[in-house]
Amino acid sequence: MRMHRLFSLEMPFVRFVRNVALMSIASLAPVLGLYVALSPGFGAMLLNGGPALSRFLRQVITNGLPVVFVVNYISFFLFAWMNAWQTGKRDAAFVVLIDVSARLAAFVLLHVLIYVLSADWFGSFGGSRMTALSVVAPTLARSALFDNISGVYLYATLVSALPLYVAVIERSVLFGGLARSFPGRSGSFLLAFALFAVFVLLLTGVASTIVNFMSLK
């Protein structure tokens, strides 16, 4: 099924939200499985159940799903908007600027909000809001390296970035010429991955800058 049939501004809001939720779960599950498989002893610990499994599931449900859902919703909404209206005199590339900016803000702010709420509700981070805030930047700074579970959430959002970026590239004068220098649609997909990599680098850069600033205090 074509992606535009799953995400259209003409469909009922509830159906749109349902599709975003299903795509978010479908994208999160394999990346989460890969993370567990690559973490020595982590899978065995989860199989034993108990507190480790319950904390892991709680983190995925209260942190992972909301972050992945919101970020994916932003991109799928922009994708639907791209298919519904013309971009006017502006090059379609401006949609990427909107998406990357919104992704960056959503990913950082949602982690801040959820970590603080986790300290309040579940006693995470020793129940300290300040401790919760202090670990956000270091966590996000290493998420691109797949060093922590936030890396799972980061790469799970690729599912919404690719269709949007490919659609933008194929409508953009700025990107279109470069994409057509590759055979078939391979150029569009390669550029889409490159644009997602730009978002990942920006996130890492912003988080690392905050970490360095905090270390000077």
Q: Examine residue 1 and state whether it is found in any structural domain, yes or no.
A: no
More confident residue, 114 or 214: 114
Tens of pLDDT, residue by residue over 58-105, are: 999 999 999 999 999 999 999 999 888 765 667 888 999 999 999 999
Q: Examine residue 72 and state whether it is found in any structural domain, yes or no.
A: yes
Q: Examine residue 5 and state whether it is found in any structural domain, yes or no.
A: no
CA-based max dimension of the chain: 59
pLDDT of residue 86: 61
pLDDT of residue 88: 60
Give me the domain span that covers residue 158.
10-216
Q: Examine residue 211 and state whether it is found in any structural domain, yes or no.
A: yes
Burial letters for 29-53: b for 16+ Cβ neighbours within 10 Å, e otherwise? Answer: eebbeebbeeeeeeeeebeeeeeee
Tens of pLDDT, residue by residue over 93-123, are: 899 999 999 999 999 999 999 999 999 998 8
Tens of pLDDT, residue by residue over 2-51, are: 777 788 888 899 999 999 999 999 999 999 999 999 988 888 888 887 88
pLDDT of residue 181: 86
pLDDT of residue 83: 81
Share of residues in the chain with pLDDT > 70 (%): 97
Number of separate domains in the chain: 1
Q: Is 146 exposed, middle or buried (0-12, 13-18, 19+ CB in 10 A)?
A: middle
pTM, whole model, 2 decimals? 0.93
Band of residue 214 on the pLDDT scale cut at 50, 70, 90: confident
Q: Examine residue 139 and state whether it is found in any structural domain, yes or no.
A: yes
Residues 131/134/136/140 CA torsion (nearest 10 deg)? -140
Q: Examine residue 2 and state whether it is found in any structural domain, yes or no.
A: no
pLDDT of residue 1: 46
Q: Examine residue 115 and state whether it is found in any structural domain, yes or no.
A: yes
The rounded distance, in Å, linking the Cα atoms of 84 and 30 is 31
Q: Examine residue 207 and state whether it is found in any structural domain, yes or no.
A: yes
